[in-house]
Chain A
């Protein structure tokens, strides 16, 4: 086992515990936005898709890599935008936020 792998496994294990701890006692009304927000966070797969597309050679690898970048971008961009739209609604009933209409 090389040093990089040991590092990666450490990061992974710590992130598991962090993931469980970081959200706690979420009110029901936030379940959907939270799901949507974490859905956007895994859009970071775009980073992986970018790397593999630029490393790809041959039509098959390039095509698959291209599709991966397209899908990952939709996940990332769409994910954050749709979450923001949901949460925008919550803000509109906040009196000091200057309720619209």
Chain B
């Protein structure tokens, strides 16, 4: 495509806004304006593109119709989604982006008149964008169904999984090369698309639900690369810059996220392979007993404590209990109890998710303590109140090398003098592993919905 120079300059402006926006998004102070700056860049890129479109009336009408239909869908979905379902939403937006990237390359390939050849770079880019875009689309779909709990979150493994996946990947490479070299044509490309969808599904299935955020981040980087590939296909610089920026920064971010969980990316992505048989920890699970307490007992315990640390988890978010948790903290503070919130880096479903939820309940920023900041304080804490969290306080991460979460840094809730677990049932956490802390003699269980239990605790503390 030949672009007029003023359009290229507008694209350059858009690219600069993307870069500035991305930079600002990495600092808390400017993050929000950074997002708006990037959005402005997107608007400029779209407006500039209007002047390079082919003048085919029907197609332009269809294009406008498509945008008019889709823009409200995106905006309304993004507005309506509950804060707890945020990770699924991001997965969805990423998936559709990957799908769009694959389809753009498909159309460009279909447009090549039969018999004529296209340049090597273009055909390589087409194959690349179709494969990576489709993997991102299919992988994001699986990530969505796992997070939405339409599918069980535990790793799904079956014998021979690794060889099968390797075979699919090899087939993709082989077909890709065939499409590029021999001009095997449209049929080959459709087959390639299909194989890439299969690989996307197969790639995410064996990864546990708790690791989904990292997977989404990786697939986000994939979509970026597919978009950059499309930039080579249609010869558009803003696609190359925008896509590559996301591809590179997304890869870096993926690494930071897996570091925050104390895992290597390789272990996280392929960890479920080969150790399928770990299963439930050996030992007489049925023989272990737990101590359940009443809200009154626990309320009294809390009321006469010096220091309480609340460990919030996803259960708090689903029960929409963040406001009641705040109320409990207020009542306790009125009695002179020091209350802090210990925020694990991956509490909730995504890094930073819990901070957002608690901020929504107007919990003062100073009370939210990072793991490093608070971990030593558990020793001198009377009660660690674990609300709907599980994996982030599971000592198996420290003690049992066979556990899928082994090596993940955890909150030292087990060092507190008393541990109160608020859970709906004895069901294991999102990672699907048993938590020995539940059976600790220092632990008292308070069964029930987090919101109801917290409400009862507020009343009990007031009465104490």
For A47, the closest partner residue in chain B by CB is B49
* Chain A 25-55 interface residues, beta-carbon cutoff 8 Å to B: 25-55
Closest beta carbon of chain A to B49's beta carbon, Å: 5
Q: What residues of chain A lie closer than 8 Å to B242, measured between beta carbons?
A: 41-42, 44
Instruction: Name the distance in Å between B12's Cβ and chain A's nearest Cβ.
Output: 10
B240 contacts chain A at the CB level, 8 A cutoff: yes
Q: How far is the CA of A49 from the CA of B234 in the complex (A)?
A: 10
Chain A residues within 8 Å of B200, by CB = none
CA distance A36 to B25 in the complex (A): 10
Q: Which residues of B contact A45 (CB under 8 A)?
A: 97, 100-101, 104, 227, 230, 239, 243
How many residues of B are counted as interface, with CB atoms below 8 angstroms from the partner's CB atoms? 116
The tally of residues in A whose CB lies under 8 Å from a CB in B reads 83
B70 touches A74 (CB 8 A): yes
In the assembled complex, the Cα of A7 lies from the Cα of B230 at a distance in Å of: 15
| B417 sits at the interface (CB 8 A) | no
On whether the beta carbons of A74 and B93 are closer than 8 Å, the reply is yes
Contacts of B56 in A (CB 8 A): 54-55, 57
What 1/0 flags go to A68-89 for Cβ under 8 Å of B?
Answer: 1111111111111111111111
Q: Is B231 an interface residue (CB 8 A)?
A: yes
Choose one: B49, B87, B106, B351; the contact of A29 (CB below 8 Å): B351
A35 with B217, Cβ < 8 A, contacts A55-B54, A60-B110 known: yes
- The reply to whether A92 and B227 form a contact with Cβ atoms under 8 Å apart is no
Q: Is the Cβ of A29 less than 8 Å from the Cβ of B260?
A: no
**A-side contacts of B39, CB under 8 Å:** 40, 80, 84
A73 and B62 contact, Cβ closer than 8 Å, known pairs A41-B22, A87-B31: no
CA distance A36 to B230 in the complex (A): 21
Q: Does B385 contact A (CB under 8 A)?
A: no
Offer 12 A-B interface pairs, CB within 8 angstroms, sorted by A: A8-B232, A30-B26, A33-B31, A36-B90, A43-B97, A47-B239, A48-B236, A51-B1, A61-B110, A74-B73, A84-B39, A101-B362
Report which A residues bind B (CB closer than 8 A).
4-5, 7-8, 11-12, 15-20, 22-57, 60-62, 64-93, 99, 101
